[in-house]
Structure 1
Amino acid sequence: MHDESNQTIESPPSQWWLAKNGEAEGPLSHQEISDALKSNRIRSADYAYSSDEKEWKPLSACSEFESGTEESALRSPPAPPVESYPIEPLFTNPRLPAMANWICIYSLQISPWLWCLYTVSEMISGGLLAENASLAGVEVLTMFVNTLVSLAVTISLFIGGARLRTLSRSGPNIFIISIVFATAVHLLLFLCTIAIISMTDQNSFVSKTVAVELIEYFIFIVALCEGAFLLTSLFWLRRNARFLPLS
């Protein structure tokens, strides 16, 4: 009994994780990290997380390994710091949640291509009225205003997405204002189009081919999906923007 009471309880050895391409690799022992350093499989500048110190820092800043508790040794580390990424992502930010990154991807990459798609399809399909129709000029003016508004909104969304990616607090505000403005203007233009159609004779409409009708149907489906994403992004930003790591 006396010998058992004098025995010391050894703490479990500390465990380590290495940051590799933004993900935690481990757990690893002190010996495994030492062997990897000696064989040049890892560098002293690589980031590591210790179950003792509870923080990510370069291996060169880790002078020694201390023993930790079993609970801390088994706990997985948090996400590695942004500095551990070998290449910074072009359209996203690792500090943002998934939905915010999807907003950045849409604003910086998808939205400009969609504007080009809408413009080209509008040039191919043309207007609803014949050239000799009395309201043809009004329809052309409506289409021209729609193109300019869409271009301005696309540029504004691009700026908002770029600022959101750089964690600027103005990014969500620009994105929200752009969506509200685009919705209001396009709703007004839609009502104008309905008014033009209602005041035009049936003989003044242009007959379109099956190919053009298929293109218009495809554009309608794409615009419907884009509108659903924009409305979802609008409500998400209004609810969660204050929780994002913005400055």
Structure 2
Amino acid sequence: MHEENNKTIESPQSQWWLAKNGEAEGPLSHQEISDALQSNRISSADYAYSSDSKEWKPLSAWSAFESGTEEAALQPPPVDSYPIEPLITNPRLPPMANSVCIYTLQISPWLWCLYIASELICGGLLAENASLAGVEAAAIIINMLASMVVTISLFIGGSRLRALSRSGPNIIILSTVVATAVHLLLFFCSVLIISMADENSFDSKTAAVELIHYFVFLVSLCEGAFMLTSLFWLRRNARFLPLS
């Protein structure tokens, strides 16, 4: 009998009053009191009166407000529950698209730095006093500038692809086509310069320089293969990606 008196079943549709500064504030609805609890305008220790049970009790003692106590509202969530978004990939993209993001956002800028460093350290194939040395130097400068523009364009395209923007694949495809065309043009120019130069025009290279050239050549072949694979994959599958 005592347990029934202490645990009165109250209805959320009943009218409520709050004890404020010795006066009864109300009538209030269940929703109004719940909102006040959640916004910390009132405390769960404040007394409330229900029109159903005809008695004053702290809000924490009313079963209608047990799930909205002040302590529960103030309880912070665990830090481990915060979602951590990847920096260079997107979980909504397939593995190949994320590989393109990783390449454009992280690998491509470092490869550009590698190519520039190798050009500055190793120099050109022709000696400084060769008649075609100026032409070769101009080709190297054009290659540096073109590769820089392509690298920046790839970075922008990768950023937009990661952000699920439809312009991302288009920028990457266009950048890849331009990079391929420029490298083929410079390759044919290099072949033409070498064919026009005599044997005395070539600069002697050390074994370390030759090793650097060989390493950079292998890296550029791997990069070119990946870029062409990405080009064909994006042209075929870009329309199926969750882009907007």
Q: Shorter-chain TM-score category?
A: 0.5 to 0.7
Residue from 135, 158, 163 that aligns with 1:161:
158
Partner of 1:177: 174
1:94, distance to aligned residue in structure 2 (A): 0.4
Counterpart of 1:227? 224
Residue type of the alignment partner of 1:109: Q
Name the CA distance, whole Å, in 1 between partners of 2:187 and 2:221: 14
Match of 1:126 in 2: 123
Partner of 1:98: 95
5+ long unaligned stretches in structure 2: 1-74
Q: Structure 1 residue aligned with 2:207, among 189, 207, 210?
A: 210
What is the TM-score with the length of structure 2 in the denominator?
Answer: 0.67
Percent identity reads 75
SS of match in other structure, 2:125: coil
Q: Give TM-score scaled by structure 1 length.
A: 0.66
Cα separation, 2, equivalents of 1:101 and 1:133: 47
Distance 2:141 2:235 in 1: 31
RMSD: 1.8
Give the Cα–Cα distance (whole angstroms) in 1 for the partners of residues 195 and 109 of structure 2: 33
Tell me which amino acid in the other structure corresponds to 1:121.
Answer: S
Q: Is the radius of gyration larger for structure 1 or structure 2?
A: 2
* CA offsets 1:91-146 (integer angstroms, 9 cap, x no match): 00000000000100110001000000000011111001111110000000000000
Structure 1 ranges of 4+ moved more than 4 A: 43-46
Structure 1 CA distance for aligned equivalents of residues 122 and 135 of structure 2: 17
CA distance in 1, matches of 2:169, 2:189: 30
Query: SS of the residue aligned with 2:238?
Result: helix
Report the alpha carbon displacement of residue 44 of structure 1 after superposing the two structures with TM: 11
Aligned residues: 169
Task: Report what 2:137 is aligned to.
Answer: 140
Ranges in structure 1 where 5+ consecutive residues have no aligned partner: 1-42, 47-83
Report deviation, 1:85. 6.8
